[in-house]
Amino acid sequence: MKKQQDTGKPLTEEQVDGLVVAEADIESAWHASVKVKPSRGATVRLSAELAARAALLARLHRQASTQAWLESIIRERVVFEESALSRLGEVVASGRRG
């Protein structure tokens, strides 16, 4: 593939797609294939009772799996906590209380 000029901006997905399509039939533009192992997700241990409760809630929320439901709940909570910490930092920086 052609090298991007160093403009400081990365190529957009559309630009990358255009380059790939333009050079798809040019054998010299391609390197040997690279094998990539998917990263292992984190494992979280739950009690049997909590896992069963989570599975029930995942079904009630019509999620594809308990894991998908737990990921969405954890993601929402992380965003909430980050927002709260950011606001707390603003309050502390301004010298205001509560």
Which pLDDT score is estimated for 91? 82
Q: Is 98 contained in some domain?
A: yes
Q: Is 73 contained in some domain?
A: yes
What's the mean pLDDT when you consider all of the chain? 86
Q: What is the count of structural domains for the chain?
A: 1
Q: Is 79 contained in some domain?
A: yes
What is the pLDDT confidence band of residue 1, given thresholds at 50, 70 and 90? very low
In this prediction the pTM is 0.52
Structure tokens at 33: 């294939």
| Mean pLDDT confidence for 15-20 | 87
pLDDT at 20 over 90: no
State which residues form the domain around 95: 64-98
Which pLDDT score is estimated for 73? 96
What is the pLDDT confidence band of residue 3, given thresholds at 50, 70 and 90? low
